[in-house]
Amino acid sequence: MTRPTTPLLAVDAIVDLPGRGVVLIERRNPPYGWALPGGFVDVGESVEDAVVREVLEETALRLRDARQFHVYSDPARDPRGHTVSVVFAGTASGEPRSGDDAKAVRVFAWDDLPELAFDHARILDDYRRARY
């Protein structure tokens, strides 16, 4: 039996540090730039486990109160190919430290966000406007 070709599955996290802002990573690998922490779901892993793992690996923060926000599936959202991302929102505490695929990690005030990779500016705009 031939296996169908399907989009890749990823997760992204909107991590709000209360009173401080949103956690973003500077990507170590292409496409470069600032982005939400996240990455691909491993085979045998749930999206809920994947988002907690990715946030911990890239920021050293433990994601709390994670809830699914929205799914982004525009075939052009990732220049590497069709990727569907399940986006979660949650909180964390502590000081973020970069790790894994993150060249750097920083907390940005909501009104002072940098230019973002992928469709992450749209995601944060949707989140701030409570679009979904």
Domain ranges for the chain, please list them.
8-128
- pTM score, two decimals? 0.93
What pLDDT, in 10s, does the model give residues 58-75?
Answer: 999 999 999 999 999 999
What is the CATH T-level fold of the domain 8-128, as seen in this structure? Nucleoside Triphosphate Pyrophosphohydrolase (3.90.79)
CA distance 28 to 91: 24
Cα→Cα distances 3→6, 10, 85, 106, Å: 9, 20, 21, 41
pLDDT on residue 37: 98
Is the pLDDT score of 11 beyond 90? yes
Please state, for a pLDDT cut of 70, what percent of the chain lies above it: 99
Residues 45/113, Cβ–Cβ less than 8 Å = no
Please state, for a pLDDT cut of 90, what percent of the chain lies above it: 87
The tokens describing 40, both together, are 């691909």
Q: Which residue's structure tokens are 């949650």?
A: 90
